[in-house]
Homo-oligomer: A and B are copies of this chain.
Amino acid sequence: METKEIKKQIEPYLKIIPLGGLGEVGRNMMLVEYKDSILVIDMGFRMPEEDMPGIDYIIPNIAYLTKNKKYKNIVGVLFTHGHYDHIGAVPYIMARIGNPPIYASPLTRGIILKRQEELPTQPKLKITEVKDGSKIDLGPFKVEFFKQTHTIPDNLGIFIETPVGNVVHTSDFKFDKYPVNETPTDFARLKKIGERGITLLMSDSTGAEQEGHSLSEKEINKNLGEIFKKTKGRIIVATFSSLINRLQQIITLSEKHGRKVAIVGHSMKTNIWLTKELGLLKAKKGTIIKKVSDVNNYKDDEVTIMCTGAQGEETAGLMKIVLKEHPTISIKPGDTMVFSSSVIPGNERAVQSLKDDLLRQNAIIYHYGMMDIHAGGHAKQDELKEMINTMKPRFFMPVHGQYSMLVANARLAEEECNIAKSDIIVADNGNIINLQKNKAYIDKKEVPANYVMVDGLGIGDVGEIVLRDRQVLAEDGIFVVIAIVNKKTGKVQTSPDIISRGFVYLKESQELLKETRKRVVGAIEEATGSGRIVNWTYMKDKVRDDIGEFLFKKTERRPMVLPVIIEV
């Protein structure tokens, strides 16, 4: 008996290790580990924060996998769907973890391969296509994919049979009985999955703070249809290029109302090309205007312009049109502008400024604050409860979303679905969740999960120091002082050079510069003049401090002061 008891105690745990996507929106990546086998779910990026100048993306930290080449244990990388917050980090990570086999739906595969083209010298990926119902054995894991409704076709939830029980990962999802360009949510299939007995449910929390049920795309389609019906002039629709189902709606509505569709924006063109190739997006022959400049050959009521830039992004199609920088399209008075999109937190001011500029050019604007012409892709509270009640999990773990969203989803489970608080796991990135049939807890140990910042071709080399320097440079600029010192006499030769950027307008600050030069000479010659051996490091520090203080006193600005002292 006692031996058995001990054996039971050392029964291995299933480890769930989120490397990104918890306590944040984006950068989704999760490990499922059992003994010597690791499953990876998704590999996304997120956008940088405001105080990270120059950073392109933030990607998951894979130190846990690269340390001691632990990645050799990876039995497969599973992707839920083709949005960049789930696949965007692929080009930065795959080569560094030994290019393990990938399992993805056709559209997800297509988007991953397109993205791969943007970065040179990538290894050839080994992708196996999967779809609703596909089953694969990967080491100790029996994986099965199931269709989930979202805003992009080919979105798959994941069911994993593991030695400690069944695990369900919902992917991003919402329930929609009347979607556009998709079959409706298959509730019967979800129910059957739940009936197999679920030990752990990991469920999308992005919409958990929002009451009610997400809007059906049928509703959106109806409202967009009304705009199409009453509009006499051109219609310009801005939306996310990744919102494939919405793009389909605009195309279909345009066809119905006798309009051709011009597409402005590289990513939107790519996605339409890709989904058309795969038969996932339908447009009649001739609907899509091939050359955007041909727009001007049609009457105003025969044209829809579909473009990127609904977030006020500086480089996107819509911004170029509004700022009159687009080669062939500009705003005409009476154009009807439809924002079929929400505003991503952080973009409010850019979108406001875009709207103002459109109004100054006498466009008519519709946006989601005025009528329901956009729905997000995430389940709200009613749907989240339904998911929990369908799966009836032993343990519940909210995933995908800010910490407040995870907490909101946890509260739904506890207060409205009768899951005991002790059976709900609200975790953070880097936590290790240990799971057995009847036991789940967060380990005291953690794995590295801090930000890895990508700028240009480099990965991870924009660390804390480089970022802090950028922040200082941005605040008050740089002030470089170059002095040539005669080795023998210790005197400064000629007047020191000053190069400064981002501090003050130099031409108008001659007096300040003159006085600064004098102080540089003073500080240096004080150090060299005493006849002692000169401590160059000390002298540089002294010049830096003296000049920094002096400039602050005069301007209340603190540029980065860099002294260069050259002995000749």
The verdict on A470 contacting chain B, using a C-beta distance below 8 Å, is yes
Contact with B along A463-482 (1 / 0, CB 8 A): 10111011111111110101
Q: Is the CB of B403 within 8 A of A360?
A: yes
Chain A residues 431-478 with CB under 8 Å of chain B are 455-458, 461-463, 465-467, 469-478
Known contacts: A50-B50, A356-B402, A560-B501. The answer to whether A470 contacts B474 by CB under 8 A is yes
The verdict on A557 contacting chain B, using a C-beta distance below 8 Å, is yes
The verdict on A188 contacting chain B, using a C-beta distance below 8 Å, is no
A406 to chain B, nearest CB (A): 9
Cα A34 to Cα B566 with chains together (Å): 63
A257 to chain B, nearest CB (A): 26
Q: Is the CB of A504 within 8 A of B461?
A: yes
Cα A509 to Cα B480 with chains together (Å): 22
Known contacts: A346-B349, A466-B505. The answer to whether A458 contacts B404 by CB under 8 A is no
Cα A472 to Cα B501 with chains together (Å): 10
Known contacts: A50-B50, A455-B557, A503-B466. The answer to whether A564 contacts B356 by CB under 8 A is no
Q: Is the CB of B465 within 8 A of A505?
A: yes
Contact with B along A346-379 (1 / 0, CB 8 A): 1011001001110110000100010000000000
Instruction: Show 26 A/B contacts (Cβ-Cβ < 8 Å), sorted by A.
Output: A50-B50, A54-B477, A54-B502, A54-B557, A345-B349, A345-B352, A346-B348, A352-B404, A355-B402, A359-B407, A360-B403, A455-B557, A461-B509, A465-B505, A466-B505, A470-B473, A470-B501, A472-B501, A473-B473, A474-B474, A478-B501, A480-B480, A480-B499, A480-B564, A482-B564, A482-B566
Query: A interface vs B, CB < 8 Å?
Result: 23, 49-50, 53-54, 209, 345-346, 348-349, 352, 355-357, 359-360, 365, 369, 402-404, 407, 428, 455-458, 461-463, 465-467, 469-478, 480, 482, 484, 497, 499, 501-505, 508-509, 554-557, 560, 562, 564, 566, 568
The 7 closest A-B pairs by CB, nearest first: A456-B556, A474-B474, A53-B474, A356-B403, A345-B348, A473-B473, A469-B502
